[in-house]
Chains A and B, each alone.
Chain A
Amino acid sequence: MAGEPILQTHTLGKLFRARLNPTRQRWAVRNLSLEVRRGDVFGFLGPNGAGKSTTIRMLLSLIDPTEGDVFLFGHSLRRERQKALRSIGGIVEKPDFYLYLSAHKNLEIVGALNGGSTSKRIFEVLELVGLEQRAFDKVKTYSHGMKQRLGIAQALLSHPELVILDEPTNGLDPQGMKEVRDLILHLAHDQKKTIFLSSHLLGEVEMVANRMAIINNGELASQGEVTKLLDEGEKYVVIKGRPVAKLRSLLSRQKLVKKTVEKNDAFHVTMGFADIPALNKILVRGGISVEALIPRRSLEDFFLSITEQQSKR
């Protein structure tokens, strides 16, 4: 059923204690409640060290939560681990393999742990990520990008309904990043997979996700539909024009403009996007040579504002 929650975390938390001095402790994740619905491309955002990887390790049972629980397809990860993990594939941080074995043999091993995979299926997933020609080469001969793609192949091997990808474009060149992004969209739209995508590359999430959560300092900062979350933020327009002094003067007198911040040779003008054509007309009539007029409401701004707010607390 489309839209039903298939991944939920209830007040999930992880406390790390120093081995030799248990009084030294730190909550890596705390009170985290997430909900991912079937069909979502769910962006999981946070700056480095926010607790994204710890969360993903808890989702995939690599780390035992200190508090709370994870529910996958309605099964508690604490009580029904095997059932909960049956329909899930994932990459946690950088994909590592048995370097002295071939990609095919690595996938055979992964398949055996999933209950068995045929060679045909192994070649299907290798073909999907463009590695079928290198199937029997040792993984140690692979480039970083190829390993990353092999990571996605192993995540897809057992026909999972939910694919958890932790920073899948990390370390890739722009072309490699685009290929992975396209693959994610293909999986979501053509193969109807639900994707849980962790990233600190905000533009990447903005391009592929329909829902998202932002985590900072181990705590949930925000969660919801990407479009709604974006609407909640302040919109602004980047304006460039000449002469600068006249532009500054004109903007300061406009009623359409709520706030103006000068940054380098541009003005960040807070205003309604619907008023952009009217402002443009005023500027041109006022003798301004308008070089750029760009409406901005990117996820990055939202992300930065949220994380900055959290850091100040």
Chain B
Amino acid sequence: MGRLIYYELIKTFLKKRTYIGFAIVLLIVPLIEIAMKLEGGRFLQLSMRSLQQDFFFVGNLFNGWLVSYNMMNSLWVHIPLLISFVAGDMLAGEATAGTYRLILIRPVSRSKILLSKYVSTLLYTLIFILFLAALSVGLALPLLGRGDLIVLTRGILVIPESDVAWRFVLAYLLAAWMMLTIASLAFFFSSFVENAIGPIVGTMGVIIIFTVIMVIPVELFEIIRPYLFTHYTNIWQLVFHDPVPWLEVVKSASVLGAYSLGLVLAAWLVFLKKDILS
């Protein structure tokens, strides 16, 4: 099994499309952070103007932690697209290239092949999010300095700098966990189509539909919202609450995990019975 995973990783990481996501992140993160360095202080002042009438802020609140936190908020819209780009290609890419005919005639069960591909997807997702984390935080701190983190969600929360780092580590791990659900969705779509465009469109389509259901204030939608994975995609933000709502974190992580498991099981059922006609 280890050997199968090793060669799946070789196939994944020697493919150019794998690095498209990395290249975009490598471009966009420094771009935002440099822009923030140049203009960000003014941006923070504008966003906090109303608060400054009632509060007196001291110290360096516009710092690398704040920019990294804001970047996490904004990039989660685009990251699923980049993840589905690779995850959606895992199975469909074999169909497109005709290489199903090369690998599925071997004395290895389809279940093992699918599992090795899923593990490869999981590792790609993890590596990608860790890369984003390392680049985002690793660049922001030297560029914009350190300080306490101000979080504006349901109020104002100032997290002391000594308490910030572990929250970021956990936030990125939870974000990776959430992204694995997105990757599993793309992987599922990938199991029954013949080209990688379908899974990307399918994944983004589901995310858009679920997001629309999340924001439209209709009673029927309110009933079904807790069953949608998009209800839990803010899981990483929970660790920036004080105190951290651990029960909610565990519940969200469990639901996302159940979604991932369900999607990979569905992909497995499709893959086992799939006729290879490509």
The chain A residues found within 8 Å of chain B, CB to CB, are: 57, 60-64, 81-86, 88, 90, 92-101, 105-106, 108-110, 112-116, 154
Contacts and interface: CB of A to CB of B under 8 A. Distances in A.
A96 B103 CA distance: 10
Contact of B14 (A88, A100, A154): A100
Contacts, number: 81
Nearest to A110: B102
Interface stretch (B2-10, B121-129, B211-219, B225-233): B2-10
A299 to B, nearest CB: 28
Interface of B: 3-4, 6-7, 10-11, 14-16, 97-109, 113, 273, 275-277
Given A96-B97, A98-B97, A82 B109 contact: yes
A94 B10 contact: no
A217 B7 CA distance: 40
Contact of B106 (A99, A106, A114): A114
Contacts of B11: 98, 101, 109
Contacts of A108: 7
Contact of B107 (A96, A106, A115): A115
Nearest to A93: B101
Given A83-B107, A85-B105, A113-B4, A62 B98 contact: no
B103 A92 contact: no
Given A98-B99, A108-B7, A62 B105 contact: yes
Contacts of B97: 96, 98-99
Contacts of A64: 273, 275
B7 A63 contact: no
B91 to A, nearest CB: 14
B3 A112 contact: yes
Given A62-B275, A64-B273, 13 more contacts: A57-B276, A61-B105, A62-B100, A63-B276, A63-B277, A82-B109, A84-B107, A90-B105, A97-B102, A98-B97, A98-B99, A101-B11, A113-B4
| Centre residue among B14, B100, B106, B276 by max chain A CB count within 10 A | B106
A290 B270 CA distance: 67
A239 to B, nearest CB: 48
